[in-house]
Amino acid sequence: MNDDELTCQEFVELVTDYLEGALPSAERLRFESHMDDCPYCAAYLDQMRQTIQLVGQLSEQTVSPEVKSDMLRRFRDWTR
């Protein structure tokens, strides 16, 4: 691997900026080159896109009180 190639960890760290169109062109090209060569990162990016699409369709009313309570409990436990 040469110095211009991204690692998978760097790729993951840049996903949000890529999806928001905030990467400078040179960094975007490095990102896309890595994605072209790494099926795992390409799948990760696809999963992130799907997650964003699905989350955008959720509202508080679409989540049952039981699920909401469970999610809040798990989050509180995770942050401890």
pLDDT digits (tens, 9 = 90+) for 20-46: 999 999 999 999 999 999 999 999 999
Give the C-alpha separation, 77 to 80, whole Å: 5
Domain contains 51: yes
| Structural domain for 27, as ranges | 8-79
CATH number of the domain within which 56 lies: 1.10.10.1320
Give the pLDDT band of residue 1 (cuts 50, 70, 90): low
Domains identified in the chain, total number = 1
Domain contains 61: yes
Confidence (pTM): 0.67
**Which token pair is 78?**
């995770």
Domain contains 41: yes
Domain contains 1: no
C-alpha pair distances (Å), 37 with each of 8, 32, 41, 64, 73: 11, 9, 9, 41, 40
Domain contains 2: no
